[in-house]
Chain A
Amino acid sequence: MPPENSKLIGRNFDPPDARAKVTGRARYPDDLLMDNLLHAKTVKSPYAHAKVKNIDTRPAKNMPGVKAVITYDDVPEFELSSGGDDQPGIDSEPRTFGYPVAAVAAEDEYTAATAAEAVKVEYEKLGHITEPTDALNPNKPTPWQNGATSQTTPDRAGDGIAGWTAGERVRWENADFSKLFPGSPGKFQREDGWGDLDAAWKESTVTIERSYKAHPMTVNPMEPRTIVAHWKSNGKVMLWPNTQDCSPVAHYVPTEFPDMAEKDLTVNTEYCGGGFGSKQQWNANVMIALPLSKKTNRPVKYRGTRREEHWYPRARGAYVVRVKAGFDDQGNCRALEMDAIGDGGAYGAGDVLVKGLGIFYESGVELFSPDALRLRGVAPHTNTPKKWPMRNPGTTQGALVLSQIFRLAAKKLDMDRFELRRKNIVTPGDRVLIPDELGVKTEMEDVQARPALEQCGQLFNWQEKKSRSGTREGSKIYGVGIGTSEAGAAWVGFDGLVIIRPDGMVETRQAVGNLGSQSHAAIARMVAETLKVPWDQVVVGWGHSDKGAYSVEQDGSATTWSAGLPGVKAAENMKTYLREIAANELGGSPDDYTVEDGAVFSGANRMTFAEAAQAGIQLGGTYTGEEIPERFKPLKEGEYERYTPKLWAQTVRAADDMIGNALVAFGHTSEADATFVTGSVSTMIEVAVDIETGKVEIEDMATVTGCGTIIHPRGARAQLEGGGIMGLGYALLDHMQYDPQTGIPVTNDWYQSKSPSIFDYPLEGIQTGFVDEPLEGSPHGAVGFGEPPMSASAAAVVDAVDDALDTDFQTFPLRPMKILQKIENGETRVK
């Protein structure tokens, strides 16, 4: 239900990009055609791991139409994220099949492809591994000549809180690798926890301990990652990076190119055909297109392909975990141990160590709320694509596993699974972890996990459905399952920008990306609601670094809160300006005035936004951005300060064309606004497992989000359904597989990696619901929740299959082959 007095929040609308998308007017990077456009192709390693001994680019350089050839000597290494180990765009030691060792730019794509094939490369083939546990095994090949894991190591300060620094790479010399999770493990790269574990184990009457392996998955966005770059001779650079982020790309890419100034780089991410996290920040192909363009001063397009999506991008990695949980006889979790080996892929495994494992641990803590906790982890490299990030990274792998712990515990405790989960799930005030800040425990500010679970139970009719558990009709056995998941969604340090033009139109200028989640539009709705302005009077801006306030990456389920709050703050500042201008023009006190319906008024005194803007332009100063309020003092170009109270330089630049010509209001979030809130999702699924074929049919599925106020019901429903289907795909179908002998992927296409089709979930639809109550400290009471639907449905469907067969699986996905083999092995209730 829309909140009382709301005109826009909680009501459906057509997102401003929808019409362009369905009519084909939306221009994605691959649609860009320019005069003088060059086409790039890469020379790819035919081995999973090799060293280039010699490379001869002359045959390509001498080819008519070829304008530039670059190798690993021409590109700077760069740090994709917090990985610790840099990832070069082109590598002299390619560590995964298909990784580029050189690139060419030519007048047309065919010439570029032929030229790339003409480059002569002599490789020294090196040993490879594709399983993360193998990286720790001293008897297996090293996936990288520099070491088997990242160097990232906690750097513990006196208070126990750790930063991250370069340290020792690890291998487990004396471990027993015959077990799924190696026995007698060696040194972990991160350890954390709280409470008296020994005492908690003693108080536990039921203990469950299991090891599992969650599998790797190709992200497979609809649009392969095509990039266009134009480094002009005047030093200006245009970049269409095909990412889901905008502002951070514009800020951080110049830090990799000493001769590129931040003010000279324009980043356009108006349209991006999906990314699911894997197009976070920028893709490694930036380091191909930009150097080629710099060399030629011509626009360069590097068209991504479906096969390259399997060879070269970021993906979801395998997690091998050991979980031990102890419960008292009332079902309260007293002790929890989570040991994890997270596949970091070929490059920057520190990302998985710091963030991926951190999020996995966070998800466990929020499900179990343990009194005592021990977390240990290591993130080795493998000779597979970089493994960070993808939709609830870590949590989704963990979801497969942790749901099974609950099921086994409930069975031993003779408790209903719903009750056991309800008892332990995170509630406001519970102690939680900040995933990437080792040692930091904080308090959950507000969370709707329990109400979402309870509402889902009603929607699904859990109590009735569970009575069908284990019953058989013909060759089908029924089972029901529960999954719950969270995603932290509130980051600070970003800007908002709202403009009212002399014609009265309101512009919301946020440089967030547009990967398809519609969160860029949700922000604009919140701004418009704050100003109580009619929607047709609003011009929504997004995805352009020169035309939008410095905004959060569009990932981590964070945009709604983290770009929404600074936008709302800018709108509130704008309201103040409008009242002051009206009082100045029409008399009375600013506090007397109301802002609504595109006007500011007090009794008979009334000004339209157009009139107020025109009056404000006469007054100038802070109203028009000619003076920036002291509290915002902007950073200099290229400058960065964490949690700064200052505006980013990009934000001020984005207002340039309107300064002095319109009302200009800024907003900003700083550390004072920081909070810990999450978007929550609960999912319940009934399956019918065909014991003769191993096929799983989804009989019924209900999913409910507790993410505060619903901004856009139709968009929220789409997130719940889409994420839920993706989770079904991960648990049942989708699998990135490699040939163990060569390390080369055998899944190279959609039909091989097997994303779920429209026929792989209930045709009659998925039941959806919203808690739809405001969350404390959130803009209009809302947070994002793009990620948890995937983890929740993956957990629920695994739980349901287990329930049907009265078993538990250690490896995934649960394709017919795995289920039927389990039945054949006599490891289920089917005798």
Chain B
Amino acid sequence: MQDDMIRPLQHIDANSIDHAISLLKEHGREATIIAGNTDEINWLKNRSRAPKVLIDLKPLGELRGFSRTIGGGLAIGPLESVTSVAENETIRDQYRVLSAAAQDVASLQIRNMGTIGGNLAQDSRCWYYRGGFDCYRAGGQTCYAMTGRNSDHAVTDYSRCITAHPSDGAVALMALDAEIDIRGASGKRSEPLSDFFVGPESNITVMNDLDRTEILTKIRIPGKWAGSSFYWEKIADRQAWDFPIVNIAAAIKKSENTVQDIRLVANGVAPTPKRLTGAERAIKGKKITEVNAKEAGKKSLPNAAPLSENKFKVPMTRNLVKRALLNAET
């Protein structure tokens, strides 16, 4: 229970992606990686985690930068700060939902330090898990939130762990149908961002599918949704330095106010970013009207099973879907 005291460790600046991967392989469970270090440092200071080796990705220029891709898309180096994502002109012009989401992350100071890759790969914010309780996610045998303080927790898609995913960036990038590239000791792989996130029914101790030697190397936004109608809103208790109660990102292709295609994603409601497919189906092919938007909202969380303190998240999500449909703009 000592806190604010990082245990002695070795800090190594990685000089290439391969170097970082070889270090991860060499040190195994004794190593962890940092980039912006706005999340991991809390675990270290609270002595909940005590890696012997800290592999720092910050020097890796190859993990930075923005570049246009074939088909009019955009590739983002995961080491780009959340601020640089928020301020990138292409993103502002073509993928405004992402700049709006990035602008709402944490606080200015954290946005300046934190990376977009870290925003995607961040750990659970369940206050039991963060508080050192021996819950399922921490390797224990119970979920304290299930019968305890669960106002911030998931209302759908949970299993033994009821954490809610906290990322803002993930929601916007999933709405843009982003893909990611990953490199590790076993080679390279790519996958849709939606497949990156891992729910507790698959593996209760992790939030994503990175294995111990893998590093996120690229985030790729396809050109398909460039310039679409977008909506972003984050409901949090505070206007800064807060995680979402519920957030929502919408990307909509419309023709004369009729929805041709749509991606609606929310966080704060499930252990992984939640694609609101029920609502998408309900509005697709229909005109956006108050009545239709409201009906779509009702379909947003069909399997919701809220807990003792978070019933309110269901109407909040329903209302946000309605607002997203009615207010999305190009």
Considering the chains assembled together, what is the distance between the CA atoms of A737 and B3 in angstroms?
A: 20
Residues 106-138 of A contacting B (Cβ, < 8 Å): 109-110, 113, 116-117
Docked-complex contact B245 and A816, CB < 8 angstroms = yes
Considering the chains assembled together, what is the distance between the CA atoms of A733 and B236 in angstroms?
A: 10
Docked-complex contact A746 and B128, CB < 8 angstroms = yes
Q: Main SS of the interface on chain B?
A: loop
- Select the stretch in B51-59, B144-152, B277-285 that faces chain A: B144-152
Docked-complex contact A116 and B311, CB < 8 angstroms = no
The contact of A117 among B2, B147, B242, by CB within 8 Å, is B2
Contact with B along A519-561 (1 / 0, CB 8 A): 0000000000000000000000000000000000000000000
- Select the stretch in B72-80, B205-213, B214-222, B312-320 that faces chain A: B312-320
What's the nearest-Cβ distance from chain A to residue B327, in Å?
10
Docked-complex contact A307 and B5, CB < 8 angstroms = no
Considering the chains assembled together, what is the distance between the CA atoms of A65 and B253 in angstroms?
A: 67
Chain B interface size, as a band, is 35 or more
Residues of B within 8 A of A757 (CB): 107, 238-241
What's the nearest-Cβ distance from chain B to residue A479, in Å?
19
Considering the chains assembled together, what is the distance between the CA atoms of A748 and B128 in angstroms?
A: 10
Question: A41 at the A/B interface (Cβ < 8 Å)?
Answer: yes
Question: B46 at the A/B interface (Cβ < 8 Å)?
Answer: yes
Tell me the nearest residue of chain B to A824, going by C-beta: B315
**How many contacting A-B pairs (Cβ < 8 A)?**
107
Considering the chains assembled together, what is the distance between the CA atoms of A511 and B319 in angstroms?
A: 57
Considering the chains assembled together, what is the distance between the CA atoms of A717 and B151 in angstroms?
A: 37
Known: A739-B128, A748-B127. A307 touches B4 (CB 8 A): yes
Docked-complex contact B131 and A746, CB < 8 angstroms = yes
Docked-complex contact A110 and B147, CB < 8 angstroms = no
Contact with B along A735-758 (1 / 0, CB 8 A): 001111110111111111010111
Docked-complex contact B312 and A821, CB < 8 angstroms = yes
Docked-complex contact B309 and A817, CB < 8 angstroms = yes
What's the nearest-Cβ distance from chain B to residue A789, in Å?
20
Considering the chains assembled together, what is the distance between the CA atoms of A746 and B149 in angstroms?
A: 8
Contact with A along B100-136 (1 / 0, CB 8 A): 0000000100000000000000000001101101000
Docked-complex contact A760 and B128, CB < 8 angstroms = no
Question: A695 at the A/B interface (Cβ < 8 Å)?
Answer: yes
Question: B323 at the A/B interface (Cβ < 8 Å)?
Answer: yes
Contact with B along A479-513 (1 / 0, CB 8 A): 00000000000000000000000000000000000
Tell me the nearest residue of chain A to B8, going by C-beta: A110
Question: A324 at the A/B interface (Cβ < 8 Å)?
Answer: no
Question: B256 at the A/B interface (Cβ < 8 Å)?
Answer: no
What's the nearest-Cβ distance from chain B to residue A223, in Å?
13
What's the nearest-Cβ distance from chain A to residue B287, in Å?
21
Question: B44 at the A/B interface (Cβ < 8 Å)?
Answer: no
Question: A11 at the A/B interface (Cβ < 8 Å)?
Answer: no
Docked-complex contact B2 and A693, CB < 8 angstroms = no
Known: A746-B149, A759-B240. A306 touches B316 (CB 8 A): no
Residues of B within 8 A of A656 (CB): none
Tell me the nearest residue of chain A to B126, going by C-beta: A746
Considering the chains assembled together, what is the distance between the CA atoms of A752 and B166 in angstroms?
A: 13
Question: B291 at the A/B interface (Cβ < 8 Å)?
Answer: no
Residues 134-158 of B contacting A (Cβ, < 8 Å): 144, 147-149, 151
Docked-complex contact A693 and B319, CB < 8 angstroms = yes
Residues of A within 8 A of B312 (CB): 694, 816-817, 820-821, 824
Residues of A within 8 A of B242 (CB): 751, 754
Considering the chains assembled together, what is the distance between the CA atoms of A109 and B47 in angstroms?
A: 14
Q: Main SS of the interface on chain A?
A: loop
Considering the chains assembled together, what is the distance between the CA atoms of A815 and B133 in angstroms?
A: 25
Question: B235 at the A/B interface (Cβ < 8 Å)?
Answer: yes
The contact of B241 among A44, A475, A751, by CB within 8 Å, is A751
The contact of A739 among B149, B311, B316, by CB within 8 Å, is B149
Docked-complex contact A741 and B144, CB < 8 angstroms = yes
Residues of B within 8 A of A823 (CB): 315
Residues of B within 8 A of A699 (CB): none
Considering the chains assembled together, what is the distance between the CA atoms of A116 and B5 in angstroms?
A: 12
Question: B310 at the A/B interface (Cβ < 8 Å)?
Answer: yes
Residues of B within 8 A of A308 (CB): 3
Tell me the nearest residue of chain B to A303, going by C-beta: B4
Docked-complex contact A820 and B316, CB < 8 angstroms = yes
Docked-complex contact A306 and B4, CB < 8 angstroms = yes
Residues 38-88 of A contacting B (Cβ, < 8 Å): 41, 44, 46
What's the nearest-Cβ distance from chain B to residue A810, in Å?
16
Docked-complex contact A815 and B237, CB < 8 angstroms = yes
Contact with A along B41-74 (1 / 0, CB 8 A): 0100011000000000000000000000000000
Docked-complex contact B148 and A740, CB < 8 angstroms = yes
Docked-complex contact B5 and A744, CB < 8 angstroms = no
Residues of B within 8 A of A756 (CB): 238
Question: A393 at the A/B interface (Cβ < 8 Å)?
Answer: no
Contact with A along B294-323 (1 / 0, CB 8 A): 000000000000000111110110011011
Known: A760-B238, A817-B312. A741 touches B2 (CB 8 A): no
The contact of B311 among A44, A109, A693, A821, by CB within 8 Å, is A821
Docked-complex contact A741 and B147, CB < 8 angstroms = yes
Considering the chains assembled together, what is the distance between the CA atoms of A738 and B144 in angstroms?
A: 12
Considering the chains assembled together, what is the distance between the CA atoms of A305 and B46 in angstroms?
A: 10
Residues of A within 8 A of B107 (CB): 757
Question: A784 at the A/B interface (Cβ < 8 Å)?
Answer: no
What's the nearest-Cβ distance from chain A to residue B104, in Å?
11
The contact of B2 among A113, A742, A754, by CB within 8 Å, is A113
Known: A746-B128, A757-B238. A824 touches B319 (CB 8 A): no
Considering the chains assembled together, what is the distance between the CA atoms of A694 and B47 in angstroms?
A: 37
Contact with B along A687-705 (1 / 0, CB 8 A): 0000011110000000000
Question: A89 at the A/B interface (Cβ < 8 Å)?
Answer: no
Tell me the nearest residue of chain B to A817, going by C-beta: B312
What's the nearest-Cβ distance from chain A to residue B279, in Å?
15
Residues of B within 8 A of A744 (CB): 131, 133
Docked-complex contact A692 and B319, CB < 8 angstroms = yes
Question: A248 at the A/B interface (Cβ < 8 Å)?
Answer: no
Known: A109-B5, A816-B245. A693 touches B239 (CB 8 A): no
Docked-complex contact A44 and B1, CB < 8 angstroms = yes
> Which of A693, A741, A747, A748 has the most chain B CB within a 10 Å cutoff?
A693
Considering the chains assembled together, what is the distance between the CA atoms of A604 and B221 in angstroms?
A: 87
Considering the chains assembled together, what is the distance between the CA atoms of A413 and B134 in angstroms?
A: 55
Tell me the nearest residue of chain A to B46, going by C-beta: A307
Question: A98 at the A/B interface (Cβ < 8 Å)?
Answer: yes
Docked-complex contact A98 and B237, CB < 8 angstroms = no
Docked-complex contact A110 and B5, CB < 8 angstroms = yes
The contact of B239 among A692, A694, A759, by CB within 8 Å, is A759
Residues of A within 8 A of B315 (CB): 820, 823-824
Known: A747-B127, A748-B131, A752-B127. A741 touches B4 (CB 8 A): no
Docked-complex contact A739 and B144, CB < 8 angstroms = yes
What's the nearest-Cβ distance from chain B to residue A761, in Å?
9
Considering the chains assembled together, what is the distance between the CA atoms of A746 and B1 in angstroms?
A: 14
Residues of B within 8 A of A760 (CB): 238-240
Residues of A within 8 A of B241 (CB): 750-751, 757
Tell me the nearest residue of chain A to B240, going by C-beta: A757
Residues 422-449 of A contacting B (Cβ, < 8 Å): none
The contact of B238 among A44, A307, A733, A742, by CB within 8 Å, is A733
17 A-B pairs besides A110-B5, A692-B320, A816-B312 with CB distance below 8 A are A109-B5, A110-B8, A117-B2, A305-B3, A307-B46, A475-B319, A694-B235, A739-B128, A741-B147, A748-B130, A750-B241, A758-B240, A759-B239, A759-B240, A817-B151, A820-B316, A821-B311
A sample of 20 inter-chain contacts (CB < 8 A) reads A41-B2, A98-B1, A110-B5, A113-B5, A693-B320, A695-B235, A733-B237, A740-B148, A741-B148, A745-B131, A751-B241, A751-B242, A754-B238, A754-B242, A760-B240, A816-B316, A817-B312, A821-B312, A824-B311, A824-B312
**The 3 A-B residue pairs with the shortest CB-CB distance in the complex, in nearest-first order:** A759-B239, A692-B319, A305-B4
Footprint of A on B, CB under 8 Å? 1-5, 7-8, 42, 46-47, 107, 127-128, 130-131, 133, 144, 147-149, 151, 235, 237-243, 245, 309-313, 315-316, 319-320, 322-323
